[in-house]
Structure 1
Amino acid sequence: MISAAQFDKEIENIISNAIREDVGEGDHSSLACIPSSSKGKAQLLVKDNGILAGVAFAQRVFEKVDPNLKLEIILKDGAPIKNGDVAFYVEGASQSILKAERLVLNGMQRMSAIATKTKEFVEKLEGTGTKILDTRKTTPGIRALEKWAVKIGGGENHRFALYDMIMLKDNHIDFAGGVAKAIQKTKDYLKRNNLDLKIIVEARDMQEIKEILNEGGIYRILIDNFNYTETKQAVKLIGDQCLTESSGGITLESARKYAECGVDYISSGALTHSVYNLDLSLKAM
C-alpha cells in the first residue's frame, strides 16, 4: 500500500488541479459584484441521510484557497447525518468562500455517498469477520478522495494503483501462459528488481486454486465469480495458506452469504462506481 505521505500528496494534487480547473484566471462572477473587503459566513447544510465524509477535505480546500478562512466544525467525518443537520460553519472573505464552494461540495457529496454505501456493507457483514474492500474502479483523477471515503465508511482499501501491489488477473494469466507461469515470472521479476510487493492471484476455478497453492508465496487468492458452494470449497482448500477474497458482482444483498462462506475479504467496485451524491449545500448566513 502507498504511504501516508504519498496519499497526502495525492490529495494535495487533487485540490490544486481542481482549483486550476474551476477557478482558472479568476472567479469573475464574484469579482464582478462582491468587494474584496466583503466578509461573510456560510453553513454546510445537510439535505440527505447517510454518513458524512469530506470535512477534513473541505478544511484543506479552504486552507488552500485562503488560509485566513475560519472553520467551525460541528460534525466530523464518519458521523451519521440527517436532513437539516449543519456540518460546519465557514467565515471570512466572501470571495474566498465562493471560490471554494463548488470544490468543497463536489468532494463532500461524492465522499459522503461512498462512505454511506460502504457503511451499509460494513453493517451487513457485522459479526462475520469478513472485511469489505474497494477496487480500482474509481473516478479518474480523484481516486484518493474516493478511497479516503471508503475508509471513513468503515471499509478497507485494496491496492491504491498498479504500482503498490501485484495482482495477477485473468488476462495476465492467459498472456503469461497459465497461472503457474504467471506466478513464476512475477517472483523472478520482483527478485530481479529488488521489489517487495505482495502478490494477489485471481482464480477462476478450483484447479487454478490448486496451482496457485502449489507455487506458494501468495498473499491472497481472489476467488472470482464463484457461487456460494464453490466459495466454501475454495476456502476449505486454501485453509490458512493465504488470505482469501471474494469478488465478481457481489451486491449488498449477497455480501453476507459470501462472508458466511469464510472469506477474509469481499471486494466491490460498487462502493465507488455505483453511488448517487448525497445532497449537501453551502448557504450564506
Structure 2
Amino acid sequence: MLTPQHIDRVVSLALEEDAPWGDLTSETLIPATATATARLVAREPGVFSGGAAFAAAFRLTDSAISVDLLVADGEAFETGDELASVTGPARGVLQAERIGLNFVQRMSGIATQTARYVERVAGTKARIVDTRKTTPGLRAFERHAVRSGGGFNHRFSLSDAVMAKDNHLAVLTAGGISVTDALLEVRSRLSHTTHLEVEVDRLDQIEPVLAAGVDTIMLDNFSLDELREGVALVAGRAIIEASGNVTLDTVGAIARTGVDVISSGALTHSIRSLDLGLDVALSADPDAVPR
C-alpha cells in the first residue's frame, strides 16, 4: 500500500540523489526572490497516476511551493489537458521538476497500459494483476499505478503468501514424496489465513495439486486449448491464474478461456513513461529576473 509516509521516504531519497548538495544551476542563475508558476500538461492521452508523489517532490524541496492536482489518480485525460499546477519559489520549482515528472510519468505510463489490458478483458470474469517484476524500491508506487489503471495486485512480497513454483516443488519432492503429500504437509503448517498457490506447467500436474486443497493454481505458459482444458479440470475447486506470454494481443483470448486471474510482469517491467510536460514561467516581477 502506498502510504504518505512511504511516499515521503522514497521521494526524499530521489531528491537527495538528484541534488545532494543543492541545485547548482538554479542557485547560480535564479534569484532567491524569484517565484514561478508551472503547469503539468499532457502531451498524449492516458490515465493519471502518481499525483501524491508529484506533489511531494515539490513540498519536500520547499514547503512554500503549492501544488494543485486537477485530476485524480485513475482519471483518464486527453492530449493538452492540464493535470496539475505548481506555484512557489522558482528555485524550488526548478529543482523538484525532474523528480516530480519522473514519478508521475512512469506511474501514469503503468496506469495507462494497465487500462488497455483491462479493456481487452471486458465482459469476462478475469482480473488483470501485476507481479513482483517491479523496480527495486518502487514496488508500492508501481503497484499503486496498476490499481489506478483498473488492475489488481498479486502478493506484495515473499512474506504475504505461499507460492510454490517449479523449483520449490523440485526441492520439496526430491526425497521421493509425492507432490500431493508434500503440499498437504505444507498446508498443515500454515495458518488458516495464509493463502497457498501452486504453479503447474502441465495438465497432468493439476489433479495432484488440487488434491492438496490449494487455494490458487497457476497455469504457466499454457496454450489456449490447454487453458480451456485446465479450467474444465479444475471445475471451480481453486482460483485459476494464467501466466506467461501475456500481451495486449493475447490477453483477451486468454480471458475468454474462463480463467479467474491473468498476471503480467509487462505491466511494470516493460513500460514506457507517459509524455507529460511541466511548462514553467518565472514571475514577471523585475526583481525576480536573473542578472
- TM-score, reference length from structure 1: 0.91
The CA deviation at 1:255 is 1.0
Identify the range of structure 1 (14-23 vs 106-115) with the bigger mean alpha-carbon deviation. 14-23
The CA deviation at 1:248 is 0.6
In structure 1, the residue corresponding to 2:71 is in which secondary structure? coil
Q: Deviations over 1:105-164 (max 9, x none)?
A: 111111111111100011100110111000111112211111111000000011111111
The yes-or-no answer on 1:210 pairing with 2:212 is no
Q: Percent identity?
A: 38
The CA deviation at 1:215 is 0.7
Match in the other structure for 1:87? 83
Say if 1:201 and 1:221, in contact at 8 Å, map to a contact too. Answer: yes
**Structure 2 counterparts to residues 15-26 of structure 1, below 5 A:** 15-26=11-22
Computing the radius of gyration over CA atoms, which structure comes out larger, 1 or 2?
A: 2
**Unpaired segments of 5 or more residues in structure 1?**
none
In structure 2, the residue corresponding to 1:45 is in which secondary structure? strand
**Unpaired segments of 5 or more residues in structure 2?**
282-291
Match in the other structure for 1:140? 136
Match in the other structure for 2:273? 277
CA distance in 2, matches of 1:49, 1:65: 29
The CA deviation at 1:65 is 2.2
Q: 1:131 aligns with which of 103, 127, 132?
A: 127
In structure 2, the residue corresponding to 1:284 is in which secondary structure? strand
CA distance in 2, matches of 1:261, 1:234: 9
Q: CA RMSD in A?
A: 1.9
Q: 2:146 aligns with which of 135, 144, 150?
A: 150
Say if 2:181 and 2:212, in contact at 8 Å, map to a contact too. Answer: no
Structure 1 residues 97, 200: CA separation in 2 closer, same or farther (over 3 Å shift)?
same
In structure 1, the residue corresponding to 2:116 is in which secondary structure? helix
Match in the other structure for 2:221? 225
Match in the other structure for 2:42? 46
Q: What is the letter of the counterpart of residue 199 of structure 1?
A: L
Say if 1:168 and 1:182, in contact at 8 Å, map to a contact too. Answer: no
In structure 2, the residue corresponding to 1:92 is in which secondary structure? strand
CA distance in 2, matches of 1:205, 1:7: 40
In structure 1, the residue corresponding to 2:211 is in which secondary structure? helix
Match in the other structure for 1:56? 52
Q: What is the letter of the counterpart of residue 204 of structure 2?
A: Q
CA distance in 2, matches of 1:158, 1:110: 20
Identify the range of structure 1 (73-82 vs 262-271) with the bigger mean alpha-carbon deviation. 73-82
Structure 1 residues 41, 211: CA separation in 2 closer, same or farther (over 3 Å shift)?
same
CA distance in 1, matches of 2:119, 2:27: 47
